Structure 1
């Protein structure tokens, strides 16, 4: 008999046995709590789990779907949950759903993954390139799903050790659709004590995580403006009212909102990213359309920008004898993503036990936005980044690039962090007394 074939199995059994022994005692000391994330990471790195997560991620990558269109994506995930014996409630927000692991009773803690892809053509040539023209998982959501499924597998194997309920949130339409907003409006976070979300990042090395307490990502909104004039021949501009010229002056004037009206210590952004007008080089069109985004780190700043954007566009258009209509309604406003201070310290403790102090990085706020903010606005939430840059390998392209790739070595880290944060939260934050009228989730 080849003993070497038994070594991985014996090692896995040892890790499982060690984790179970750790959890048998409800009154765990710090040393025992510290073993949970270490053991989960060791389990997540086992070939049978890692290879399975890689396979799931690659299937999703080959078949990307846009926001609220993730029907096959959702079906694949639910099929995996069915095989694990994990119940779920579907549909929520068209294609989203939530799964349940544990007692079905309080405390409840949630871990979340987004499922949607981007509307862009993949430029990376590899075996599992997107099979759908003009669609690509260019932000790592396929990896996020694989990680949450990996965490589900780890937690389901230890479901009898959970002292409460873990809610798995599979969310549609993060990329501008506000899927999280719709999910919260259905009441999925009722009685949930906290929610955690993650994002893969090419900015940080593999084996490291980055986050901060307080505001981490900006709130954002979008706008579109139609500037109407009077078209005519380009050789006779005196007989026209030129919307192209008016729109150009509007764009320049919008730049002064940040440079001359915003507090320099209060980060804000106004960007015009679309300009459409005219179809011929010698014809002045009747109208021009511009569109863009605005961002700030406070609701007051965001609403102030919204008000001034509309004023500047309409009044600057009037200076050029044009009229303008401004629309803010196509996409929801994203709130500022704010990390709960207490959860920040809790996250650092769990991540430190798994990765070591030097791999816990403090990051600066960035002007990107995340609809995880809708969850964190309703209950205490925490959002963090998991590094996947291998310094000895090729430099990875950032998200939203057609050359974006995922270092699949990151998958065990995300799965183990999800599982560890959820399990330890249920152990460390037991309610002193459970109310008899608290809704149970075991029937969902």
Structure 2
């Protein structure tokens, strides 16, 4: 025995030398730099760009992604990858590998936003009032790129990679419906990725623990008594009541929340009245509330209703509050598994250097990837940067001027393939070491 070498380590080395699968995997799926180089090859890159642009030209809203789903299935058929469809109306669940455990999953969201694209370019949205203003078109192209890489090295996979193409991330709770349809049965580990407008190209960013907030929506109808604006004493003014409600709602965070416990309450809708000289019978307000802790989220929900009803009554009005969680389900916080964070940093560091793996502060935005954490033992969500300041200003997500730096596509495709490939390889090695006979001491 070599000095300092443990029996388990020697047995593991012997298993690697005797296993052609392990050696092959080490030369391919265990080579993050090589996979990135593959994804950057002109032919590979042109194909992903073409997929992304076709999706961008034909955006579809949540649960309406029929053409997008058909495009994905055509590409999977061309690769020889089997899949099941539909899940949650338009969703697809594809598999690459042995068909047996362990099962890992990668996910891309497919839906667009109800907004008019403001940029004029060759592949602008052809559908009035709809555009991919968040990057989901890039996510689909990147996951198909990962699928191509994994399929080319399928004989090296010691387990199964499940590819989820999900509808309705933008408030529709598509992940929840995918879960209800059984899309993640037997999944042990799952990764999700999002392009980032403020993270430089060639950089990835994430953190252990909470990364995205939980969120919910509310709408309230505040009713009074309408009348002529010149005779307010004959009316019960719901606009005044709603104004008092909105001011009081802001105090829930500033005066009731722990300053170290991030929370948000925002009123984004105020609708009522239609004339300068008429006090309406009622007004409608609506908004969102967000928190990282479940207890804080539930407390906010309770207090929002109490404040709206109570403040309306102070102004002699009545109020009915609807939290809309049938149409817009509450999103849990997105919380990253600490062990997967260490694993992510290691793999990403090998691909793009440790200096390009950055910490990301938690965001008050919500992500329905969080639903998967309720069913999958370990999940991890990260951002892949696409900011290139030499291209000029980068418009933010959900802006009509949002654009994709298509140089991000190979980074997303290679990173996803590297994460699942390395995880399966390490799982194989650990299993081999556990199953190998131990020599007597």
TM-score (structure 1 length as normaliser): 0.90
Helix, strand or coil for the counterpart of 2:390? coil
1:370 aligns to 2:377 (yes or no): no
Aligned match for 1:418, one of 416, 419, 432: 416
* Counterpart Cα distance in 2 of 1:23 and 1:52: 37
| 1:24, distance to aligned residue in structure 2 (A) | 6.2
**Contact persistence 1:220–1:295 (CA under 8 A):** yes
* Counterpart Cα distance in 2 of 1:22 and 1:201: 41
* Counterpart Cα distance in 1 of 2:420 and 2:430: 19
1:264 aligns to 2:269 (yes or no): no
1:340 aligns to 2:337 (yes or no): yes
| Counterpart in the other structure of 1:160 | 155
Cα gap change, 1:266 to 1:22, in 2 (>3 Å) = farther
| Counterpart in the other structure of 2:247 | 252
| Counterpart in the other structure of 1:294 | 289
Indicate the RMSD between aligned Cα atoms, in angstroms: 2.0
1:122 aligns to 2:117 (yes or no): yes
* Counterpart Cα distance in 2 of 1:35 and 1:390: 29
| Counterpart in the other structure of 1:4 | none
1:278 aligns to 2:273 (yes or no): yes
| 1:22, distance to aligned residue in structure 2 (A) | 11
* Counterpart Cα distance in 2 of 1:30 and 1:346: 18
* Counterpart Cα distance in 1 of 2:250 and 2:243: 11
* Counterpart Cα distance in 1 of 2:368 and 2:207: 17
Cα gap change, 1:364 to 1:30, in 2 (>3 Å) = farther
Helix, strand or coil for the counterpart of 1:406? coil
Helix, strand or coil for the counterpart of 1:198? strand
| Counterpart in the other structure of 1:179 | 174
| 1:391, distance to aligned residue in structure 2 (A) | 3.1
Helix, strand or coil for the counterpart of 1:97? strand
CA offsets per residue over residues 305-330 of structure 1, 9 Å max, x none?
A: 00000000001111111110000123
**Contact persistence 2:331–2:370 (CA under 8 A):** yes
* Counterpart Cα distance in 1 of 2:381 and 2:94: 20
* Counterpart Cα distance in 1 of 2:67 and 2:17: 39
| 1:32, distance to aligned residue in structure 2 (A) | 6.1
Aligned match for 2:351, one of 354, 358, 366: 354
| 1:367, distance to aligned residue in structure 2 (A) | 0.6
* Counterpart Cα distance in 2 of 1:37 and 1:184: 30
1:109 aligns to 2:104 (yes or no): yes
CA offsets per residue over residues 362-420 of structure 1, 9 Å max, x none?
A: 11111111000001232211000000111332121111111100000000000001111
| 1:29, distance to aligned residue in structure 2 (A) | 12
* Counterpart Cα distance in 1 of 2:390 and 2:117: 25
CA offsets per residue over residues 268-305 of structure 1, 9 Å max, x none?
A: 00000000010111111110000000000111000100
| Counterpart in the other structure of 1:307 | 302
* Counterpart Cα distance in 2 of 1:153 and 1:34: 12
**Contact persistence 1:228–1:287 (CA under 8 A):** yes
Helix, strand or coil for the counterpart of 2:391? coil
| 1:23, distance to aligned residue in structure 2 (A) | 12
Aligned match for 1:402, one of 393, 400, 403: 400
CA offsets per residue over residues 139-168 of structure 1, 9 Å max, x none?
A: 000000000000101111111111111100
**Contact persistence 2:28–2:35 (CA under 8 A):** no
* Counterpart Cα distance in 2 of 1:114 and 1:37: 24
Aligned match for 2:381, one of 383, 387, 405: 383
| Counterpart in the other structure of 1:439 | none
| 1:30, distance to aligned residue in structure 2 (A) | 12
* Counterpart Cα distance in 1 of 2:279 and 2:141: 52
| 1:430, distance to aligned residue in structure 2 (A) | 3.6
Helix, strand or coil for the counterpart of 2:117? coil
**Contact persistence 1:23–1:161 (CA under 8 A):** no
Cα gap change, 1:339 to 1:29, in 2 (>3 Å) = farther
| Counterpart in the other structure of 2:39 | 44
Cα gap change, 1:90 to 1:269, in 2 (>3 Å) = same
